[in-house]
Every structure is written in structure tokens, then in C-alpha cells.
Amino acid sequence: HLSTGNYNPLSAKVYTDVSFFSAKNEIANDIIKLFHSLLTSSATSNTLETLFMAPKQIKPKIIELIQNEMNHKQEGYIILKANALVDSEIIEWLYQASQKGVKIDLIIRGICCLKPQVKGLSENIRVYSIVGKYLEHARIYYFKHENIYFSSADLMPRNLERRVELLIPATNPKIAHKLLHILEIQLKDTLKRYELNSKGRYAKVSNPNDPLNSQDYFEKQALKTF
């Protein structure tokens, strides 16, 4: 079982997360290696085969994925959903990607140290935050010309460089589609979505002709399923 959340029964009632069960041998083998790394205090030096583990693998992989979208210039597209965006190196690569013409949508619930919509720097970057009755906690990273991933790690130095975290590629097309659908619906939210401007201020995104609360949407979907 791989998840962006934890096993706290209290926070589970108010947090939104992604939860994934798999019987694939390659994933199970990586998880065995992960726990062995924890037991032997070797997580800082070990690497996995299918998954990506911090502190050694996740940050270089995310930078590699950003660079790959940069190669596609105006055809590139990145969506990053996280709780926080603080890591200066990743921010710098996002700026460079924007300057290459890559479209970038960031759904960052909390602190965001990147300045969007700055001429000559981040004109192709938009930053949003979803604030509703549930606390947004999932981390989903989409790269148009590669995979879509979910992760336990936020885009912060403490997560990428000082903790043991996982980045999981959604190689199953159905799961990849579901993850992308989450991002697409949140980017259409007109009731609980706020946009960050270049001056560091948030303004509510609204469209009375097309009201959509993304959290209510997924809550209704979950009730239909379960």
C-alpha cells in the first residue's frame, strides 16, 4: 500500500490523499529494499529500481522531468500539486522551463516561494491553492511527455534532502488517467480555488456561470463508488 497520506485516524477524516494498492513484484521488491534501508540506516545511499526514494533519487528525477519538458518548449506542460514549493533549485528550473515556453500550472496548498506571472521570468507559470472543507494533502506531479507521479514528498529541502520519501510512477493507464483527472478538475474549480499573483497576493477565482467545487465533486464520486 502506497499513499500520499498517513495512518492517523483523525487526520484521515479531513485530509485528501491518494491511496494505491499494488501486487506488482517490482514494486513489492522496492518496498522491501526501502524497509531494509530504514532498518540498516542506509537510506541516504540506496536507490530503488521502479520507485524513487529520497534523499538520493527524487530531486534529481523531478529536475530531469522538468528538463525533458523544456526540450519540447511551447508543447511542454507541467502540473505540480503539492503542499509547499520551497526548494530553490526546483524553483529555478521551473523559471527556466517557463522561459522556454513550457506551460506550468502549480496547485500549492500552502507556502509557495515561486513568483508567478513575472515578465521575462515566469510568464507561463500560474499558481493556485484549493481551500475547502478538506485539507489538500496529496502530491501529484504531471509531465505531459513523460509519466504522471504521486509522492509522499513535498517540494521542500527537508523532504527531498533530509527525509526518506517516495515518488511513484503511475504506469497503469487507468490510474494515470484518474490522477490527471484530479488535477484537471481542480484547475477548473470556480468556488474554492485561489490564484497567486506576482505580488504575492491571492485572489479568488470565480465564475458564477460555471460553478464547480472540486472537493464536492470528488466527494460525490467517492460516495457513488463506495
How many residues belong to the chain? 226
From the centroid of its chain, how far is CA 171? 16
Task: Provide the residue ranges of all domains of the chain, joining segments of one domain with +.
Answer: 2-225
Mean pLDDT, the chain, whole residue set: 96
- pLDDT at position 204 is 97
- pLDDT at position 45 is 86
What is the average pLDDT across 128-134? 97
Distance CA(94)–CA(103), nearest Å, equals 10
| CATH number of 2-225, picked from 3.30.870.10, 3.20.10.10, 2.60.40.10, 1.10.540.10 | 3.30.870.10
| Per-residue confidence band for 5, with pLDDT thresholds at 50, 70 and 90 | confident
- pLDDT at position 12 is 87
CB atoms within 10 A of CB 196: 21
- pLDDT at position 195 is 99
pLDDT in tens, 171-206: 999 999 999 999 999 999 999 999 999 999 999 999
Distance CA(71)–CA(174), nearest Å, equals 27
- pLDDT at position 105 is 99
- Give 3-state DSSP helix, strand, coil % of the chain, rounded to 5: 35, 25, 40
Helices (H), 80-225: 88-99, 157-161, 173-186, 214-225
Residue 226 has pLDDT above 80, yes or no: no
What is the average pLDDT across 35-61? 94
What is the average pLDDT across 32-58? 94
User: For 165-179, b where at least 16 C-beta lie within 10 A, e where not — what string?
Assistant: bbbbbbeeeebbeeb
Helices (H), 140-189: 157-161, 173-186
pLDDT in tens, 59-92: 999 999 999 999 999 999 999 999 999 999 999 9
Residue 133 has pLDDT above 90, yes or no: yes
User: For 146-158, b where at least 16 C-beta lie within 10 A, e where not — what string?
Assistant: eebbbbbbbbbbe
Strand partners, 107: 81, 128
Whole-prediction pTM: 0.96
- pLDDT at position 97 is 99
